[in-house]
A = this chain, B = another copy of it.
Amino acid sequence: MYEVFLSKINEKVSLTRQEEAEIVAHLTHKTLRKRQFFLQEGDICRYIALVEKGALRTYVTDMEGHEHITAFALEGWSLGDLCSFLREEPATQNIEALEDCELCLISKPAYETLLQKIPKYETYNRILITEAYIALQKRTRDMISLSPDEQYKAFVNVYPNIVLRVPQHMIASYMGLSPETLSRIKSRISQHK
């Protein structure tokens, strides 16, 4: 049931059987159908989720009501509106299933208990959030310093699975482009082979 979750932690720190049991006792499970929301803007994000199966997208809405995708998540990835989760404030992000999903959830009380009781869990979280920060920083750097063509090539290289599983107009949204522009970028790239 929680193999993906535990193996993710064990990649960073080695848990004993006891610790594994303690952690699993604080997890819950959830399934989502395609198009169901894990989180909607305005609600408080009560859980951080780890994707055991499926695909989801995170998006925000701008002042004109347009959606902008800020992240995708596939198997093994974590998601949630961290700001809303930690401060128990209304979320600004929406998280929607793009396929039927299996999620593994941890609530705020569970999160805090584990941080306190299991030092390795705190270490794991420090490492996880540090890596997320580095990845986000890298993404912003790429958006600044690469041409749209280069950016798309980089995206296809780093996330080939997403390209296969997600409609193209959503990748355009993620890249901050109109669907038409991404379409033209693709044809431009394939011309120069």
Binding site for B on A (CB under 8 A): 60-63, 68, 70, 82-83, 86, 92, 119, 122-123, 125-126, 129-130, 132-134, 136-141, 144-147, 150, 176
* CB atoms of A137 and B68 under 8 A apart: no
Residues from chain B with Cβ under 8 Å of A150 in the complex: 63
The 4 A-B residue pairs with the shortest CB-CB distance in the complex, in nearest-first order: A62-B145, A126-B126, A133-B133, A68-B144
Residues from chain B with Cβ under 8 Å of A138 in the complex: 83
* CB atoms of A133 and B144 under 8 A apart: no
Residues from chain B with Cβ under 8 Å of A92 in the complex: 141
* CB atoms of B62 and A134 under 8 A apart: no
Task: State A92–B136 Cα separation when bound (angstroms).
Answer: 14
* CB atoms of A145 and B83 under 8 A apart: no
Task: State A137–B146 Cα separation when bound (angstroms).
Answer: 20
* CB atoms of A70 and B141 under 8 A apart: yes
Partner of A61, one of B126, B130, B145: B145
Residues from chain B with Cβ under 8 Å of A68 in the complex: 144-145
Q: What is the distance, in angstroms, from A16's C-beta to the closest C-beta of chain B?
A: 18
Partner of A129, one of B61, B86, B129, B141: B129
Residues from chain B with Cβ under 8 Å of A126 in the complex: 122, 125-126, 129
17 further A-B pairs in the complex, CB-CB below 8 A; given A83-B134, A92-B141, A126-B126 = A60-B141, A60-B145, A62-B144, A62-B146, A63-B146, A70-B144, A82-B134, A82-B137, A83-B138, A119-B119, A122-B122, A125-B126, A129-B130, A129-B133, A133-B133, A136-B137, A136-B140
